[in-house]
Amino acid sequence: QSFDFVITVGGTGQGKSDVLRLALKRAGAKQSEDQTKLSSSLPFVCANLKDAVLFGLPGNPLGFVNIVQRVVLPVIWQSFRTDPFFVRRQKVFMGFDYEGKAGDICVQLAPFEGKVIALPVQKGSGRSSAFRDAAAVIPNPQGRKIEAGEAVEAQMFFNGLLG
């Protein structure tokens, strides 16, 4: 049989139980060389497996939501339509201090005193609320400190575009 896309969940990190890369190598898949151009620091795999594009997504719900929204859905959407994928951006205000590391900050959005504030979506294994709460991502590739109240640009997820 032939498939356009294959999507797996889990096994994409670098630990002993993370075996997707080895399985793909044994299957003769050609992996994309640099995933960091697509997702900052989240562990995921993109490969060509026969005639299909394979996305190996992280098992962590927050990482899964981020990669599906920012990488997988746009690729699938573009493969079936001729229009380019539209990314809606919105000015928001940080509702928390972020000391973070380089990467994306996954946030929920809430109205507050006539503004839209960004609140963190909690990372953690088994937190299915990440699927409900995640509304946008704030790219922070340099890992700079962001103060509460600072204006930043958020990239809206599909659930905020199609709802």
Q: Provide the whole-model pTM.
A: 0.70
Provide the number of structural domains found in the chain.
2
pLDDT tens column, 79-93: 887 566 677 899 999
- Of 63, 80, 97, the residue that ends a domain is 80
Buried b (16+ CB within 10 A) or exposed e, 106-127: bbbbeeeeeebbbbbbeeeeee
Residues in CB range of 39: below 8 A, 6 or more apart: 66, 67, 70, 71, 104
Q: Residue 163: inside a domain, yes or no?
A: no
pLDDT tens column, 12-39: 877 787 788 888 889 888 887 655 455 5
Q: Answer yes or no: do 72 and 10 share one domain.
A: yes
Say which amino acid occupies 112. F
And the tokens for 121? 């979506």
Indicate whether 136 pLDDT > 70: yes
The angle at the Cα of 85, spanning 104 to 109, to the nearest 5 degrees, equals 40
- Of 31, 52, 80, the residue that ends a domain is 80
Alpha carbon 149 to its chain's center: 24
Q: Answer yes or no: do 43 and 9 share one domain.
A: yes
Q: Residue 104: inside a domain, yes or no?
A: yes
For residues 154 and 66, is the Cβ–Cβ distance under 8 A? no
